[in-house]
Amino acid sequence: MTDKNSIDAFMRGIPKAELHLHIEGSLEPELMFALAHKHGVKLPYASVEELRNAYQFDDLQSFLDLYYAGAAVLRDEDDFHALTMAYLKRVHADGVVHVEIFFDPQTHTERGIAFATVIDGIRRALADGEREFGITHRLIMCFLRHLDAADAMRTLEQALPYKDAIVAVGLDSSERGHPPSKFEAVFSRARSEGFLAVAHAGEEGPPAYIIEALDLLKVARVDHGVRCEEDPALVQRLVQDRMPLTVCPLSNVKLRVVERMQDHNLKRLLDRGLCVTINSDDPAYFGGYMFANFQAAQRGLDLSREDITQLAANSIEASFLRAAEKKHWQEKIREFVAA
């Protein structure tokens, strides 16, 4: 086996968790067209190929415009089931053993789809996926930060009957101009209801937004967080607290957070002792699922087997699995590396 084949097999095979995945961002053009046809929706693209060619982004907002438009084909429970099942099947082939999935209820409730339709379809697929592929799961409900805090609070209230199914609340969508502080009261209420908290911060926004996410929203993980490097005291704090960052390498290149993969700070942050993980964010839009993200980062940053092992171990450490489950997977990672 060549060196490349061998490190690829290692990256694919090592047990790992995906912690930053927007289920709506796993909607492949083929399924988008099939659902558009099913519901009699006309897409502004003539073919799958034409749609894929439109996936050229200047920044986060230019992506979000397409992402929200695409999600409009998701209408009934079976659509959300099909979407989630396709994702699980795909990442099973990448050696993913556990997933923590974001969903954006407001993207759907805003267009008259019931909260129950969304969550019931996703949950049914997660249960089917665990039975079929052995992939365990947690569900994280994100608030759209470009909408107001009152809308987020109403969404939180809709989620209360599903407390047992949702482990955490998150914060996503347009970061610039929508600081975490806008959602302090919503997150406070969510935590008092028993939800854990995560938030996108420091993707396009400044390090100050990461500090707000930690201090005001009391997050257990920071999604992206790559701009922390601009504030050395913050980096030190993240290292000291072993605060996980769910980094998304292909997303960062596609949305021009970094110019090229070779410029990504993932390896520097890992070497600094940060609990960095690799994730796919919106794989249908950014050119690949978990393995593709590992592969692109490995090639661009010359990651070693030790780096890959650390990234996989970090993904288990940073997950919301129970202590015994984490112990089980850390042991499996050690066995895999030894073999």
Distance CA 121, CA 77 (A): 4
For residue 134, how many other CB atoms are within 10 A of its CB? 10
In angstroms, what is the minimal distance from the CB of 312 to ligand ADE? 22
**238 to 257: interface string for ligand ADE, x by CB under 6 A:** -------------x------
Q: Which of residues 255-284 bind Zn ion (CB under 5 A)?
A: 281
Task: State the helix-helix crossing angle for 305-317 and 3-13, rounded to 10 degrees.
Answer: 10
Distance CA 79, CA 117 (A): 9
Among 239, 166, 193, 203, which residue's Cα sits nearest to residue 57? 203
| Residue 335 annotated to the active site | no
- From the list 28, 100, 175, 203, the catalytic residue is 203
Task: Verify binding: residue 222, ligand ADE, rule CB under 6 A.
Answer: no
Among 16, 123, 200, 227, binds ligand ADE (CB under 6 A): 200
- Taking the least distance from each CB to ligand ADE, the nearer of 17 and 23 is 23
Question: How far, in Å, are 100, 223, 247, 255, 326 from residue 239 at the CA level?
Answer: 23, 15, 15, 26, 20
Cβ–Cβ under 8 Å, residues 85 and 137: no
Task: Verify binding: residue 94, ligand ADE, rule CB under 6 A.
Answer: no
**306 to 325: interface string for Zn ion, x by CB under 5 A:** --------------------
Task: Verify binding: residue 100, ligand ADE, rule CB under 6 A.
Answer: no
Residue 287 carries which DSSP code?
Answer: T
Written as six digits, the tokens of 264 are: 């990504």
At residue 271, what is the residue type? D
- Taking the least distance from each CB to Zn ion, the nearer of 29 and 225 is 225
Q: Is 281 annotated as a binding residue?
A: yes
Q: Where do contacts with Zn ion occur on this chain (CB under 5 A)?
A: 281
Q: Where do contacts with ligand ADE occur on this chain (CB under 6 A)?
A: 22, 25, 60, 67, 172-173, 200, 203, 251, 281-282
The catalytic site residues sit at 203
